[in-house]
Amino acid sequence: MSQQTIPSAARSRLFAGSAFVLGLLAILGALAFQFIGGLYPCELCLTQRWPYYIGLPLLALGLIVWNKLPAPMRGALAAGVAALFAWGAMVGVYHAGAEWRFWPGPQSCSGMGDDVISLDMLSDMSDVRIVPCDAIQWELFGISLAGFNALISAAVAVLLVLSIRALRRG
């Protein structure tokens, strides 16, 4: 079937559905790395998950009622979720850059900063696992998990922009 024979609403939903599936696979993969693989997320890793935790449920609800929503609402939903994932891609780029020492990461998880630590604060830290944001825990082909998240988040955002574009062409 050529692109011209698929109605724009269906094409738009296909792009949005593809974005949802890609995002879902990414967050399930991250959770598998954490709970099965034993890789504990740092502060920036957890921050990068917010677009998935907020955007995917919104997108899932939107996809369920996609054909009942007016086109402007579909576009607004796709734009909002795309913006979340674009922000997530930027956080992923920042995190990957901190891992590769292109720039410093946040002091809260990359360094000690100016805070004073007392022995009282350290007394009950036996179960605490501190993961620095500037340490690469896993990589493939020279790309860390933060780098993969940046790429995947950007791809989700692009798919949603294509969804909006399909709506506008209809």
pLDDT at 10: 85
DSSP 123: T
> CB 164: neighbour CB atoms within 10 A?
20
Give the residue among 113, 52, 131, 107 at the shortest CA–CA distance from 84. 52
Is the pLDDT confidence value at 121 over 60? no
The whole-number pLDDT of residue 110 equals 64
Residue-wise pLDDT tens digits, 68-99: 988 889 999 999 999 999 999 999 999 888 88
- For residue 129, the model assigns a pLDDT of 62
Give the C-alpha distances (Å, rounded to integers) separating 119 from 86, 108, 122, 124, 126: 41, 19, 5, 10, 13
Average pLDDT, the chain: 84
Beta strands at 143-144 and 139-140: parallel, antiparallel or unpaired? antiparallel
Contact, 51 vs 84, CB < 8 A?
A: yes
pLDDT at 125 over 70: no
H or E segment to which residue 23 belongs = helix 8-35
- The C-alpha atoms of residue 163 and residue 98 are separated, in whole angstroms, by 32
User: Do the beta carbons of residue 63 and residue 16 sit within 8 Å?
Assistant: yes
- The confidence band for 111, taking pLDDT boundaries of 50, 70 and 90, is low
**Domain coordinates in residue numbering, the chain:** 8-106+130-169
pLDDT value at residue 48: 92
Output the pLDDT for position 116: 46
This prediction's pTM: 0.81
Which of 24-38, 54-68, 125-139 has the lowest average pLDDT?
Answer: 125-139
**Concatenated DSSP letters of 63-110:** HHTGGGS-HHHHHHHHHHHHHHHHHHHHHHHHHHHHHTTSS---HHHH
Distance CA 125, CA 123 (A): 6
Which one is predicted more confidently, 127 or 113? 127
